[in-house]
Amino acid sequence: MSALEPRDAEADADMAAGVARRPGSLAPHDVGTVSTVNSVSAVDTADSVVTKGSVLDPAHRALSIGIVSVVLLIAFEATAVGTAMPVAARELNGVSAYAFAFSAYFTTSLFGMVLAGQWSDRSGPLASLTAGMSAFAAGLLLSGTAGTMWLFVLGRAVQGLGGGLVIVALYVVVSRAYAEHLRPAIMAAFAASWVVPSVVGPLASGTITEHLGWRWVFVGIPALVVFPLALALPAIRRTASGPADPQAPVAPWDRRRIGLALAISAGAGLLQYAGQELRWLSLIPAAAGVALLVPAVRGLLPRGTVRAARGLPSVILLRGIAAGSFIAAESFVPLMLVTQRGLSVTLAGLSLAVGGLTWALGSWIQARPWTEPYRERLVVLGMVLVALAIAAAPSVLITAVPVWVVAAAWAVGCLGMGAVISSTSVLLLQLSAPEEAGANSAALQISDGLSNVLLLAVGGAAFAALGGGAVGHAVTSHAATGSHPTAFAAVFLPMAGVAAAGAWVATRLQADRARA
């Protein structure tokens, strides 16, 4: 699945339910300027004295249904595409570039998020949301009609740009169109939108892939864009269009921040390309990628993040470690089950379905008031569960191990991730002064997305180096090939080690928090 959006939506819902909000701290994943996060719209001012109403009252009904439908569509796409990906990679002779098909989405979404934040500051979220949904649909069509793997990857990159524009715009809509007492309900609706697709998406995608072909999974989803946009756009135009303060001068574009975001995206893409090619000449794009990434990371992440300084830097680092290790491993689960154990794409996708429920359970547990004194311990435990789940998954490469072990392991891992991802978002707000919420939230999202790209690059390079491109001869059949199991082990076991290191980082969250 595309881990950047589903996991963040659930995390934000739990923050809304379990943390006393400060004004302006609604959108922790808005990576625009601080003015977007701290702005108080006219709608908020007018509604601040109102304690009645709901997200489905006449004033909000069309908007609520529309934006929740947008999240539901993104959630369904994330789960459906992950199921169809093994077949797509096999038919396009691109199994060796399998990781690139996932990381391309995350790479361009980083830039899209920064762009959307500033775009929404200047003219409101309407244009960003419209452009994002259009790019999202165009990317799906491009991937669904691709004749080569690299054209398929290009479509995923276009789709990621759209996804980044959309997710930030949605949070800006919520901050402007809903009074503070209604925001937890709409954020909870965002989180709930991921549960049903987690169960239904793999089944629907697998059935379509087996009977109609994988391309229909991609080209069919854009048709679903029309309904949510038809509902949401008019409502957004009425309630959340224009700059946050119409009387204030239009804020200038922060060219430096956009440049740093572009450098991160380009640098991550170059490193991913170098990892897939595995030639001596690949050292050139690898060096160029590092040259772009190092100053950009230093400029966008708090000082001390890389060395796990106590407090906020470790919170931001842990978010990246957790998301990157888990998503890099999860991306290879369906491919492993299809090629090594002969499962159909439907059953392989369903092996991850229970995880949507346990992820929500983990998020719910961390939001209970009685867990607050033990939050750091809960995060450590969550990372241990994640590490164990990733380490247990490749055990199915041994034919004597039943395939349901993967489903059970992934349910446990998702339980840990639900607690960790939500808790890092909660801790971020607790450790951030109101005037720092925007910049710190941007750093959290960048750490999340960048680690996805980098760890997918590492996993993909190891997979390709150990013969991963040769697997998949029976992707479209029900017969396992049994070839190159070490290629999969080379992905899962290092990611389990990264997750275990995250358990150590989780012990460094408390000191600065006590001094804050």
Question: What is residue 311's DSSP assignment?
Answer: T
Q: How far apart are CA 235 and CA 243, in angstroms?
A: 16
| Structural contact between residues 474 and 342, judged by C-beta atoms closer than 8 angstroms | yes
Note the pLDDT of residue 264.
82
In this predicted structure, the answer to whether residue 287 has a pLDDT above a threshold of 70 is yes
Note the pLDDT of residue 43.
38
Q: How far apart are CA 205 and CA 78, in angstroms?
A: 11
Per DSSP, the residues of 439-500 read: HHHHHHHHHHHHHHHHHHHHHHHHHHHTTGGG--TTTTSS------HHHHHHHHHHHHHHHH
Q: Kindly report which listed range (142-146, 157-161, 283-287, 416-420) carries the lowest average pLDDT score.
A: 283-287
Q: At what angle do helices 149-177 and 98-123 cross, to 10 degrees?
A: 30
Note the pLDDT of residue 135.
93
| Structural contact between residues 474 and 337, judged by C-beta atoms closer than 8 angstroms | no
| Structural contact between residues 240 and 124, judged by C-beta atoms closer than 8 angstroms | yes
Per DSSP, the residues of 189-223 read: HHHHTTHHHHHHHHHHHHHHHHHT-THHHHHHGGG
Note the pLDDT of residue 78.
77
Q: At what angle do helices 404-431 and 312-330 cross, to 10 degrees?
A: 160
**How many residues appear in the chain?**
516
**Per-residue pLDDT tens for 343-375?**
877 777 777 777 878 887 887 788 777 887 888
HSE-CB for 98 with a 13 A CA cutoff: 36
Q: Which residue has the higher pLDDT, 479 or 215?
A: 215
**Per-residue pLDDT tens for 20-70?**
333 223 333 333 333 333 333 433 333 333 345 677 777 777 788 888 888
Name the residue with tokens 């809304």: 16
Q: Kindly report which listed range (100-114, 458-472, 492-506) carries the lowest average pLDDT score.
A: 458-472
| Structural contact between residues 72 and 197, judged by C-beta atoms closer than 8 angstroms | yes
| Structural contact between residues 322 and 383, judged by C-beta atoms closer than 8 angstroms | yes
What is the mean predicted confidence (pLDDT) over 411-423?
89
Longest dimension (CA), the chain: 69
Q: How far apart are CA 47 and CA 39, in angstroms?
A: 15
In this predicted structure, the answer to whether residue 81 has a pLDDT above a threshold of 80 is no
SS3 94: coil
Q: For residue 400, how many other CB atoms are within 10 A of its CB? A: 6
Query: Can you say how many angstroms the Cα of residue 305 is from the centroid of all Cα atoms in its chain?
Result: 20
Note the pLDDT of residue 413.
94
User: Which H, E and C letters describe 145-171, residue by residue?
Assistant: CCCCHHHHHHHHHHHHHHHHHHHHHHH
